[in-house]
Structure 1
Amino acid sequence: MNRRRGALLAIAVLLTVPLARPATADVATADHGDAITEAVEDFATASGYPGIAVIVTDPDGTRHSAAYGVDAEGAPIASDTRMPVASVSKTITAAAVMQLVSAGRVDLDAPAYDYLPGFRIEDRRGADITVRHLLTQTSGITDLTLREKSLPQPATLAEAERRASRAELAADPGEKYAYTNTNFHLAARIVEKVSGVPFGDYLEREIFRPAGMNRTTTIDVTPEDLPADVADGHVYAYGLTPSVPEPHRFVNGSDGVITTPEDLARWLLVQQNDGVAADGTRILPAGVVRQMQTPRGDAPYALGWEVDRGKDGPEVGHGGIWFTYTADILLTDSGHGIAVIGNSGLGLANEGTGQLATRIADIADGEPADPMPSIRLWTDLVLAGFTLLTVVLGARRLARTGSWVRRHGDKPWWRLAARLLPRLAPTVLLFSLPYLIGLAVGGGRDVSLLQLAYYSPALMAWVFIAAVANLATIVVRVLGLRRHGVRRAEVAA
């Protein structure tokens, strides 16, 4: 399912580098089981995931399960390992809203203001934002009009509601699709306000427990609220995968669900059986699942679900990205459900687990799946080469400061400024990277400098060292020019 974000740099060599592969565990042996296991190992090795779990479901139950590798504490990944599923959570938030819609307690086309007294924006068009607009990501709020990751983080959905009042609108409500977590913070807050119970309690009572998702919960903020049995995820740098805590972020309603592969499979079965759980419990009224997964017109987003119109027909699913974990779910026309959770974040030359979900879907349908090229390591090695070259050139410039000053010291100040000011470019690039990468990779998503260090330590190291080296060049040359001017004045005297 080709609905993932594009990689920022095309600096890569399409080679496969064989690396040591940890033993797999918890693998089913039904039809295509060996091919699925091999695809999981291949993806994990090529993309730098220490651990990945995959579940394949049919409407009558789990068909395949495969787990690869270990978590940050060295424990084997298994089908009962608890992990975050990031924005896959939006499918659950949308289901909670649709339960209230089906009960007649929420009107999809009523203004969000009717349910959220603490949400009022200055733009008069804010009164036109409906509940449907929140669930279809068409409210007019974007990450560029409310930078939800860069701003101070709320601690509760009530605080997130108040923070959303600072938003501006990039378009009229309903006019344009723009993905932002803020819409689902507000949707979850509607569930709280209408139901009268905390959002997590509502999900536990109305979705998790009835669906048999007994090891699933939702949290407010990372990493503080993570359950004790959830290990840190990983980032990727130069072929290494160090474990790190997730950055501090508010995630409830948008990407706060913590679950297991088994529980996520139970959620897929609810979708595949028209809202009915594996034990026969009805979670959503008949027809609501189809309504949630059917977008209006050519929109890429339905009610909490992403829709990709490929050459073989539309596919429905949702990706999930933390900075230390990624996840994907996919529902195919052939009736399969695919769930993938990996314990490493998105990065350069790694578009997340969506690629693996698509490959698993192809295998489940009996189609061949080509091996993945190992371009993530090569991308970082190229960046490492640029970083080393930057260090060498920077040291060379500093060592030759004296000769530069003698050669240019008597020139007019404006010519000296013209030579030195371009060396501010790496610093400008450094502080522009959050916007540039958010625009190039996420279509306008918000990201902070710290979070970019999780996204690509190699890229950030190169740009940071380039900025420092060039700033040092400016400072040392200016000081050299000053000493040259003093000596020239003394000679003249």
Structure 2
Amino acid sequence: MTDDPHRCVDQRDVDAILDEFLRSVDVPGVAVSLFTSKGVTARAARGVSSLESPDIAMTPRTVGVVHSLSKVMTGTAVGVLAARGQADLDEPIVRHLPNVAGRDRFADTTMRHLLSHSAGFVRGPVPLLSEATRRDPLEQYVLGACLGAPRFAEPGEVFGYSELGIVVAGYVLQRIVRKPFVQAMRELLFEPAGMHRTTLDPFVAMTFPLCQQHVRTSSGNLVVRRRFDANLMTAPSAGVFSCAEDLARLGVVHLRGDRGNRGRPLLTATAAGHLHEPCVDVGLDIERGYGVAIASGPRYGDVLSVGHEGHYDGNWSKLQLIPDLGIGAAWLDNRGEDPTLRPRRQECFDQLLHLLGAGERSWQRDEEITGTSDSADVDPAAVAGTYGRLAGRALTITAEPNGLRATDGVTSVEYAHLGGRLYVASPAATGALKHIPWAPDPDSTRSALSVVGPARTPTHVLLNGLPYPRLR
């Protein structure tokens, strides 16, 4: 089945990739959709939606919770507002907040900060501090908890992945359009994009064919996880139910191929560029940045891809697109995150993109490709000091002849200079690291330490993408 005659994909090739995937892993069911700017070009599914109902097949329209891909949808809806001139990504959000305690803290915080994980927020969740009862759970959480949440940096200063930032952005979107977030998402994005099986309401999701979540017990058995972690308080960050076909339609919107209800793309070229253009570096040894709620990297051939994953216990989803080639792929399976599954998922995802003409995948940063480095290199002696987080041990960094040494009093690792502000551990040292935050990012091969702030007085370090503000 194909909606785009300009990209002919042999259905048998897609089926073969999924068949081989299920033969090599313990995933009950998987569904994918390939797309271009013209629309969905191929769909396929294999396996079952639940081990308890082996007669119900997984399909590209089978719905499941997509967790952090909700962030991409929230960012896309903000992009739609920006394309209409109804939102400014760089306007201080304080203008849209009610006159409540904590409001003044956002005088310099913008939607771009919130959606690119550079607002300085802790990751979350945070407890409700206000006893006031509000009819709107999202408003209750934002006004009663998020506005007073701890911050480890000034807006725009450093990357720090945060569900709270996305939640606040969703609330601001709601304030701008003067409609509940659930209704706003439906009218701004889901309906005009043709995402007819995408919803923030678990009771609506239950009316569609729904894949169950599967987790492994301590005894090694694969069982159904019966609880969906859907919460309207955090809906902008992780509350969406969707299917592989609808995720592909979201990708089509990003490639500016959907004409919406007004006969033109939902996103302008400028708005799409703002969503995809990296505005903050995650500080890893791989090419990974963030635009507006969407991550950049890896490269396929010589062009950069953008996308995001969504997973928690029991479901795993992914959306990846290559704007310069006008192609992308969406994936949904019902097994959940598992480090042993990640390589096979990535391999199959690459094979799907190759069917559309994508080149070989590479995570190399610009410094390694071009041999260039940031002109603002820092003196290792200036980095030396103590850095800390709200939870966990403080990090002490000392200057060494060949780079930096980091220790938390238990683990000690030497980092050699890679380029610019980035230092990396040797493969041998990285292999010995077992616990967070010392273990590298799942897509990295080396533990990475990145220096942030003025060259003579760094303010933070990023250890494998986790921000540590300087204590002394």
Residue correspondence of structure 1 range 24-423 to structure 2 within 5 A? 31-72=9-50, 73-74=53-54, 75-117=56-98, 120-121=101-102, 126-143=106-123, 146-148=124-126, 156-162=137-143, 163-219=145-201, 227-229=206-208, 230-237=210-217, 240-246=221-227, 248=229, 250=231, 251-273=234-256, 276-277=259-260, 280-296=263-279, 298=281, 300-310=289-299, 312-332=302-322, 333-351=324-342, 353-365=345-357
Higher share in strand? 2
What is the alpha-carbon distance in structure 1 between the residues aligned to residue 206 and residue 321 of structure 2? 29
Count of equivalent residues: 344
Which structure has more relative contact order (CA 8 Å, sep 6+)? It is 1
Deviation at 1:439, TM superposition (A): 6.7
Deviation at 1:436, TM superposition (A): 4.8
Structure 2 unaligned runs (5+)? 1-6, 283-288, 362-433, 443-472
Distance 1:39 1:151, change over 3 A: farther
Larger Rg: 1
Deviation at 1:202, TM superposition (A): 1.1
Q: Corresponding residue for 1:467?
A: none
Q: Deviations over 1:430-478 (max 9, x none)?
A: xxxxx954774779xxxxxxxxxxxxxxxxxxxxxxxxxxxxxxxxxxx
Distance 1:246 1:56, change over 3 A: same
What is the alpha-carbon distance in structure 1 between the residues aligned to residue 314 and residue 38 of structure 2? 33
What is the alpha-carbon distance in structure 1 between the residues aligned to residue 62 and residue 48 of structure 2? 10
Amino acid at match of 1:129: T
TM-score between the two structures when normalised by the length of structure 2: 0.64
Deviation at 1:358, TM superposition (A): 2.7
Higher share in helix? 1
Distance 1:114 1:120, change over 3 A: farther
TM-score between the two structures when normalised by the length of structure 1: 0.62
Distance 1:348 1:340, change over 3 A: same
Contact 1:340 1:356 survives alignment (8 Å): no
What is the alpha-carbon distance in structure 2 between the residues aligned to residue 89 and residue 198 of structure 1? 16
Deviation at 1:232, TM superposition (A): 2.5
Deviation at 1:367, TM superposition (A): 6.7
Distance 1:314 1:358, change over 3 A: same
Contact 1:139 1:183 survives alignment (8 Å): yes
Deviation at 1:270, TM superposition (A): 1.6
Amino acid at match of 2:206: P
Contact 1:59 1:273 survives alignment (8 Å): yes
Q: Corresponding residue for 2:463?
A: none
Determine helix, strand or coil for the equivalent of 2:222. coil
Contact 2:245 2:330 survives alignment (8 Å): no
What is the alpha-carbon distance in structure 1 between the residues aligned to residue 339 and residue 85 of structure 2? 46
Deviation at 1:198, TM superposition (A): 0.8
What is the alpha-carbon distance in structure 2 between the residues aligned to residue 366 and residue 133 of structure 1? 31
Amino acid at match of 2:273: R
Structure 1 unaligned runs (5+)? 1-28, 370-434, 444-493
Q: Deviations over 1:344-378 (max 9, x none)?
A: 21124233855532332134327799xxxxxxxxx
Deviation at 1:82, TM superposition (A): 1.5
Name the Cα RMSD after superposition.
3.5
